[in-house]
Amino acid sequence: MTGPLSQRFLLAGLAFATVNLTSCGSLGLNARKSSELPQTNSSLDGARGVGMAIFRSTAVASLRQPVTTTKLGFALFYQRMRAMLRVNDSPPVLETQPSEIPGSPEFEHLLDHHGIRHAGSGTLAFLVNGSSFYPDFEKEVAHARKSIDVQVYIFDNDDAAVHCADLLKARSGEIPVHVLCDDMGTTIAQTAAPDTPAPAGFTPPAEIVDYLREGSRVKVRRALNPWLVSDHTKLFVFDHERAYLGGMNIGREYRSEWHDLMARVEGPIVSPLQREFTRAWRKAGPWGDLALIRNPIHRDPPPLRSGIPLRILRTDTVVGRYDVLKATRYAIRASRKRIWVENPYFAADDIEDELVAAARRGVDVRVILPKRGDSTIMDTANLAAARHLMAAGVKVIRYPGMTHMKVMMCDGWATFGSANLDTLSMRINRELNLAFTDPKTIKALENAVFVPDFKRSTPLRKEETDGVIVPLVQSVARQL
């Protein structure tokens, strides 16, 4: 092979070698911090933990989840090859713009028609930053009467996470407490230090899963990672009646360092969210795939006097669900007036192409990226994407520091949750978003996120994107 195609195969080799490490952050940077701050595992403990996680992702996952492992293997091969062989030089081939405007009942019918799960009913309250979410979390843990169910990508072992673990342990003698964390995400996070130092004298536990179990009745399971595919979901359910979802894991970054978003959800929509947790919990148990043969019975939460339509969006490769990608593409393509985006990682060609086309037809397209992220590769990939977007007229601005928000508004439609704008979130990892169209809630999200963040952020200058090694960066980033 010669020419661009052979170059893509060569560069993709590097992508395959780095994909699963860089997706968890800049490990080199964090390794340096780890040697300075006494709040991470030792190198030996970290290496042992990662080795065990890889063993569980291969041998254990193959035994417990043979169907999942096989399906993921085929899907992962297809998605990686698709990303590797994509031809950048040719213009994107986009379908005709839908007549249905995002936010309208007709647009919701369009999503229904294309197989995306129908909307349920509930209420939303937005919680910006850990200073808003964590006090709510602590109150919910203290006052829960029936059950506490927690699913996160990362349950860290820093002082903030240990504090949360202690609260859960204290309640586990009174009500059932379940904690489900992604195995690889949590294990790698325990080797990386936050930006700010822990209190004097704090020593992190070597393994947070063991710490949660020690001296308590907390039931803990690891979401396994066949083919190193992760469950990136963040979902908290209390008493089967109240749920929280968004971008926050459990750890110091999320409590006090990063800019992020969660939402409190109540109403009938909590019942399918509870089922999402229960399905993931059962699958992570000793019976693996076999545990999903029988569906447990769930009690619906009390009905609401008032509520808004809320649509659950999933990325779940095993069952062929790509709701986040499909709904986002339709919303961008159908937008007439505005598309506002805030996301830490931008490496999804499908979304980039749609935004470029929208800007060229006169839509107000604005993208907020972090000025300083947690991954050097993804920061560079963001600049490469920004250069392409800016050339089409997209306004790219940078939030001062790390924004971990995953939020998008297209005319009168919005979505938020755990999904990044990258290949992993759109096509590979498990993700959980909510979408809605209620005008008052759209306005509330606009005022909570975009209005203040537009004021805090500064425009990205074209010269700041110069010098980016585009072919190399994009070949790596497409795998992330």
Largest interatomic CA distance in the chain: 66
Question: Does residue 297 carry a pLDDT above 50?
Answer: yes
Position 294 scores a pLDDT of 79
Identity at 290, one-letter amino acid code:
L
Answer for the pair 189, 33: CB distance below 8 angstroms, yes or no. no
Which band of pLDDT confidence, cut at 50, 70 and 90, is reported for residue 237?
A: very high
Tell me how far apart the alpha carbons of residues 169 and 176 are, in angstroms, rounded to a whole number: 10
Residue 267 has pLDDT above 80, yes or no: yes
The pLDDT assigned to 4 comes to: 38
SS3 state of residue 369:
strand
CA atoms of 28 and 185, how far apart (whole Å): 16
First to last CA, the chain: 25
Q: What is the pLDDT of residue 274?
A: 97
How far from 182 is each of 29, 41, 129, 189, CA to CA, in Å?
Answer: 22, 18, 22, 11
Q: How confident is the model at residue 40 (pLDDT cuts 50, 70, 90)?
A: low
Phi, psi of 106 (to 5 degrees): -65, -40
Which pLDDT band holds residue 474 (cuts at 50, 70, 90)? low
Q: Is residue 13's pLDDT more than 70?
A: no
Span 319-326, average pLDDT: 95
pLDDT at position 466, please? Answer: 80
Residue 39's pLDDT is: 56
**CATH 3.30.1330.200 fits domain 3-477:** no
pLDDT greater than 50 at residue 31 = no
Give the per-residue pLDDT at 11: 36
Task: Please tell me the least confidently modeled range out of 25-29, 66-70, 87-91, 129-133.
Answer: 25-29
**What's the pLDDT band for 290 if we cut at 50, 70, 90?**
very high
Give the confidence band of 244 by pLDDT, cuts at 50, 70, 90: very high
Kindly state the average pLDDT of the residues 251-259: 97
Q: Could you tell me which residues come within 8 angstroms of residue 423 by beta carbon, excluding any fewer than 6 positions away? A: 79, 83, 347, 348, 478, 479, 480
Q: What's the confidence (pLDDT) of residue 378? A: 84
Mean model confidence pLDDT for the chain: 87
Q: How far apart are CA 416 and CA 405, in angstroms?
A: 8
What pTM value is reported for the model? 0.90
pLDDT for res 76: 85
pLDDT at 28: 38
- State yes or no: pLDDT of 245 exceeds 90: yes
Domain definitions of the chain by residue range: 3-477
DSSP-based three-state secondary structure for 308: strand
β-strand partners of 407: 342, 416
- Residue 181 · residue 135 · CB < 8 Å: no
The reported pLDDT for the residue numbered 351 is 94
Answer whether residue 121 shows pLDDT above 60: yes
Higher pLDDT, 170 or 83: 170
- What's the pLDDT score for residue 195? 86
Q: Look at residue 193 in the predicted model and tell me its pLDDT.
A: 82
Decide which of 191 and 287 is more confident. 287
The predicted structure's pLDDT at residue 349: 87
**What would the pLDDT profile of 336-357 be if each residue is shown by its tens digit?**
999 999 999 998 888 999 999 9
